[in-house]
Chain A
Amino acid sequence: MNGKSIAILSEAERHRLVQSPLDGEGLKLMFEAGLIWLTTNQQYVNSLNVFPVPDGDTGTNMVLTMQAAFAEAETKSTNNVGEMAHAFAQGALMGARGNSGVILSQIWRGFSRALDHYERMDSALFVRALQEARNTAYKGVVRPVEGTILTVIKDMTAAVEETGTSESKLSDLLITLVQAGDESVKRTPELLPILKQAGVVDSGGTGLYYIFEGMLRLIEGLPLDVSTAVVKPLSELDFANTLETVEEGQDYEVVIDFAPHAEFSLENYYHGLSDIGTSIQVGEGDGIYRMHIHVPLDKRYEPIAYTESLGIVKKIAMENLQDQMNSKKGESAKIKFTPLEPGQVAVVAVSPGEGLSRIFASLGAAAVVAGGQTMNPSVKEIVAAFENLPTDKIIILPNNKNIILAAQNAAKVSVKQISVIPTRNAPQGFAAMLRLLPEGTLEENEESMREAIMEVHTGEITTATRDVTIDDVHVEKNSVIGLLDGKLIVSTHSVEDALSDLLTKARVEDFERITLFYGEGMTLPRVNQMVDKIREQYPEHEVEVHDGGQPNYQLIIAIE
Chain B
Amino acid sequence: MTSQQNPLGRIYILPEAIKSVARHAVLQSYGVISLAPANLFEAAIQFLRKNHSYGINVSADSEGLYLDINLVIEYGLRIKTVTDSVAEAVKYNVEKTMGIPVNRVNVHVRGLRISNPD
A: which residues have CB within 8 A of B? 93-94, 96-99, 101-103, 105-106, 109-110, 112-113, 116, 136, 139-143, 145, 405
| A93→B76 CA distance, assembly (Å) | 7
Is the Cβ of A142 less than 8 Å from the Cβ of B34?
yes
Given contacts A109-B118, A143-B27, contact A102 B33 (CB under 8 A): no
**Contacting residues, chain A, for B31 (C-beta < 8 A):** 102, 140-141
- Most chain A C-beta atoms within 10 Å of own C-beta, residue among B28, B74, B77, B81: B81
Report the separation of the CA atoms of residues A141 and B76 in the bound assembly, to the nearest whole angstrom.
13
Partner of A96, one of B32, B81, B116, B118: B81
Q: Number of contacts between A and B (CB, 8 Å)?
A: 57
Q: Choose from A94, A99, A110, A136 the contact partner of B85 (Cβ within 8 Å).
A: A99
Q: What is the CB-to-nearest-CB distance from A553 to chain B, in angstroms, rounded to a whole number?
A: 23
| B115 proximity list for chain A (CB < 8 A) | 139
Shortest Cβ distance from residue A97 to the other chain B in the assembled complex, whole angstroms: 7
**Which 10 pairs, one residue from A and one from B, show the smallest C-beta to C-beta distance?**
A96-B78, A140-B74, A99-B85, A143-B27, A141-B30, A102-B81, A142-B27, A140-B31, A143-B28, A113-B118
Q: Nearest chain-A residue to B24 (Cβ)?
A: A143
From A101, which residue of chain B is reached at the shortest CB distance? B81
Q: Is the interface of A mostly helix, strand, loop or mixed?
A: helix
B53 within 8 A of A: no
B18-39 interface (Cβ within 8 A of A): 27-34
Does any Cβ of A come within 8 Å of B82's Cβ?
yes
Residues A93 and B78 in contact in the complex (CB < 8 Å), given A102-B31, A141-B32 = yes
Chain B nearest CB from A378 CB (Å) reads 14
Closest to A139 in B: B115
| A102 in contact with B77 (CB, 8 Å) | yes
Please state if A116 and B118 are interface contacts (CB–CB under 8 Å).
yes
- A145 to B30 Cα, complex, angstroms: 9
Distance of A116 Cα from B31 Cα, bound (Å): 23
Across the interface, do A145 and B28 meet the contact criterion of CB distance under 8 Å? yes
**Which one of A93, A110, A112, A405 lies within 8 Å of B77 (CB-CB)?**
A93
Is A109 within 8 A of B28, CB to CB?
A: no
Q: Is the CB of B77 within 8 A of A99?
A: no
Minimal Cβ-Cβ distance residue in B for A103:
B30
CB neighbours of B77 from chain A (8 A):
93, 96, 102, 105-106, 140
Cβ contact within 8 Å between B28 and A97 = no
Q: Give bound CA distance, A358 to B41, whole Å.
A: 57
Q: How far is the CB of A109 from chain B (nearest CB, A)?
A: 6
Contact with A along B62-89 (1 / 0, CB 8 A): 0000000000001011100110110000
B35: min CB distance to chain A, Å: 10
Q: Contact at B30–A105, with CB atoms within 8 Å?
A: no
Is A97 a contact of B118 with CB atoms below 8 Å? no
CA A98 – CA B78 in complex, angstroms? 10
**Bound CA span A102–B82, Å:** 7
B76 engages A106 (CB within 8 Å): yes
Give complex CA distance A99, B115 in Å. Answer: 20
- The answer for the CA separation of A283 and B67 in the assembled complex, in Å, is 53
Q: Which residue of B lies closest to A141 (CB)?
A: B30
B61 to chain A, nearest CB (A): 16
- Known contacts A96-B81, A102-B77; 9 additional CB pairs below 8 A are A96-B77, A102-B81, A105-B77, A106-B76, A141-B29, A142-B27, A142-B34, A143-B27, A145-B28
Alpha-carbon separation in the docked complex, A105 to B77 (Å): 8
| Closest residue on chain B to residue A116 by CB atoms | B118
Residue of B whose beta carbon sits closest to that of A98:
B81
Closest-by-CB residue of B relative to A113 is B118
Interface centre among B27, B82, B118 (most CB of A within 10 A): B118
What is the distance, in angstroms, from B49's C-beta to the closest C-beta of chain A? Answer: 21
Cα(A102)–Cα(B74), bound, Å:
11
Q: How near does chain B come to A104, taking the closest CB pair, in angstroms?
A: 11
Task: Report the minimal beta-carbon distance from B83 to chain A, rounded to whole angstroms.
Answer: 11
Residues on B with C-beta less than 8 A from A103 are: 30
In angstroms, Cα B29 to Cα A136, docked, is 15
Q: Which of B28, B31, B78 has the most CB of A within 10 A?
A: B78
CA gap between A146 and B84 in the complex, in Å: 21
The smallest C-beta distance from B115 to any residue of chain A, in angstroms, reads: 5
Decide yes or no: A97 and B116 within 8 Å by CB, A139-B74, A140-B30 being known contacts.
no
Shortest Cβ distance from residue B25 to the other chain A in the assembled complex, whole angstroms: 10
A-B contacts, 24 of them at CB < 8 A, read: A93-B77, A93-B78, A96-B77, A98-B85, A99-B81, A102-B30, A102-B78, A102-B82, A105-B77, A106-B76, A106-B77, A109-B76, A113-B116, A113-B118, A116-B118, A136-B116, A139-B116, A140-B30, A141-B28, A141-B29, A142-B27, A142-B32, A143-B28, A145-B28
A97-B30 in contact (CB<8A): no
Among A94, A110, A116, A142, point to the contact of B78 (Cβ < 8 A). Answer: A94
Residues of chain B contacted by A102 (CB below 8 angstroms) = 30-31, 77-78, 81-82, 85
Q: Nearest CB to that of A409 among chain B residues?
A: B80
Given contacts A106-B76, A113-B116, A136-B116, contact A142 B33 (CB under 8 A): yes
**A99 contacts which of B27, B30, B33, B76 (Cβ < 8 Å)?**
B30
Docked pose: A103 CA to B32 CA in angstroms: 12
Residues on A with C-beta less than 8 A from B27 are 142-143
In the assembled complex, the Cα of A93 lies from the Cα of B81 at a distance in Å of 10
Q: How far is the CA of A97 from the CA of B77 in the complex (A)?
A: 11
Chain A residues with CB under 8 Å of B76's CB are: 93, 106, 109
- List residues 78-118 of chain B with CB under 8 A from any CB of chain A: 78, 81-82, 84-85, 115-116, 118
Which residue in chain A gives the minimum CB-CB distance to B78?
A96
For A139, the chain B residues whose CB sits under 8 A away are 74, 115-116
A98→B115 CA distance, assembly (Å)? 22
Which residues of B have CB within 8 Å of A141?
Answer: 28-32
**Residues of chain B contacted by A93 (CB below 8 angstroms):** 76-78
Q: Do the beta carbons of A105 and B118 come within 8 Å of each other?
A: no
Q: How far is the CA of A514 from the CA of B81 in the complex (A)?
A: 39
What distance in Å separates the Cβ of A300 from its nearest Cβ neighbour in chain B? 45
A113 to B84, CA, bound (A): 27
Residues in B with CB closer than 8 Å to A405 are 84
Give the chain A neighbours of B30 by CB distance below 8 A: 99, 102-103, 140-141
